[in-house]
């Protein structure tokens, strides 16, 4: 599986409760150590013009010039520089998925709470919408699906869709706005994907780790159920011949030593299922 990663995406310390700024490096290292058959491809950074499609110019320029706080609530230069590459990773991965009709990965987080004019909850620029709007603009896709399986509702994604009036071209379903019943969710997930995304050219899938029962900001799916969720998504997309680009989204568990190893295990399982379904 092609994984779009560069160390330029990583910030060792974003001065935040969320580990997402440092997570890409740890996740990729875990995948390589596990021997997964992945190919690392370095993405190019997005341009300001690409960011302007999903966000107001005033907001984009303010964040990048360190005059407006980013989604972590600070104005660190290291964070601002990394944002061009995290968004670039998502965009490059989606381009490849469309061109090769495959499953690709962007090891990124911090997208879906970013609104048209502001960041929120560890999210600065909405890479889901930056990617979607770029693909639509250049004509490589005409209808795009977003399946957001993070614990929390993708309010920023929906706000951008509503602000720009692009709902006809984007199918957005966020699990965070639905009742959290594991059995109902898993039994209906395949049908939901078939129903919502049958006319889409690509699916952007947020494989969040924070719905885990032990996550301090989550709490409704077991490790095995999360793995089942991922398998259903990949199996159903393959059945539909639907390209998929997936990313990491949220995950806040830590072990007794303070490391994010429980989160890495969940992301390992998503890759494990994705690689199996790609073979």
- What domains can be seen in the chain, in order of their start residue? 2-278 (3.40.800.20)
At residue 279 the predicted structure's pLDDT band, cuts being 50, 70 and 90, is very low
From 95-109, 165-179, 191-205, the region with the lowest mean pLDDT: 165-179
**Taking the C-alpha atoms of 71, 75, 79 and 85 in order, what is their torsion angle to the nearest 10 degrees?**
80
Q: Which residue has the tokens 């966000």?
A: 55
250 token code pair: 């949220």
Considering only CA atoms, which of 65, 70, 89 is closest in space to residue 8? 89
Task: Tell me the three-class secondary structure of 53-70, residue by residue.
Answer: HHCCHHHHHHHHCCCCCC
Give the start-end residues of each E strand in 83-143. 103-106
Q: Is the dihedral of CA 143, 149, 153, 157 positive or negative?
A: negative
**What is the overall mean pLDDT for the chain?**
96
At residue 96 the predicted structure's pLDDT band, cuts being 50, 70 and 90, is very high
At residue 278, the pLDDT reads 52
d(CA 75, CA 72): 8
> Residue 181 pLDDT more than 80?
yes
- Please report how many Cα atoms fall inside a 13 Å half-sphere around the Cα of residue 129, on the Cβ side: 32
**DSSP tag of 7:** G
d(CA 116, CA 124): 10
Helix, strand counts (H, E) of the chain: 9, 7
Strand 144-148 vs strand 202-206: parallel, antiparallel, or unpaired? parallel
Which comes out higher in pLDDT, residue 242 or 258?
A: 242
Is residue 40 a contact partner of residue 29, using CB atoms and an 8 Å limit?
Answer: no
């Amino acid at each position: 599986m092609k994984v779009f990663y560069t160390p330029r995406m990583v910030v060792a310390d974003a001065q935040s409760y969320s580990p997402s700024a440092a997570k890409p490096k740890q996740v990729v290292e875990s995948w390589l150590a596990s021997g997964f058959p992945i190919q690392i491809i370095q993405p190019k950074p997005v341009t300001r013009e690409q960011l302007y499609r999903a966000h107001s110019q005033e907001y984009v320029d303010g964040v990048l010039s360190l005059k407006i706080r980013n989604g972590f609530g600070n104005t660190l230069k290291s964070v601002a520089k990394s944002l061009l590459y995290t968004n670039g990773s998502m965009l490059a991965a989606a381009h490849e998925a469309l061109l090769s009709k495959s499953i690709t990965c962007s090891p990124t987080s911090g997208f879906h709470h970013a609104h048209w004019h502001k960041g929120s909850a560890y999210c600065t620029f909405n890479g889901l919408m930056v990617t979607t709007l770029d693909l639509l603009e250049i004509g490589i896709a005409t209808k795009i699906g977003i399946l957001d399986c993070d614990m929390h509702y993708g309010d920023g994604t929906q706000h951008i869709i509503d602000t720009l009036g692009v709902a006809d071209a984007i199918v957005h379903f966020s699990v965070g706005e639905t009742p959290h019943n594991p059995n109902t969710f898993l039994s209906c997930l395949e049908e939901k994907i078939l129903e919502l995304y049958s006319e889409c050219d690509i699916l952007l899938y947020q494989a969040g780790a924070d719905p885990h029962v032990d996550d301090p900001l989550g709490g409704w799916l077991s490790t095995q159920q999360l793995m089942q969720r991922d398998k259903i998504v990949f199996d159903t997309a393959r059945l539909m011949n639907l390209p998929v680009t997936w990313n990491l989204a949220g995950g806040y568990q830590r072990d007794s030593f303070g490391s994010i190893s429980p989160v890495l295990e969940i992301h390992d399982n998503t890759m494990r299922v994705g690689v199996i379904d790609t073979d």
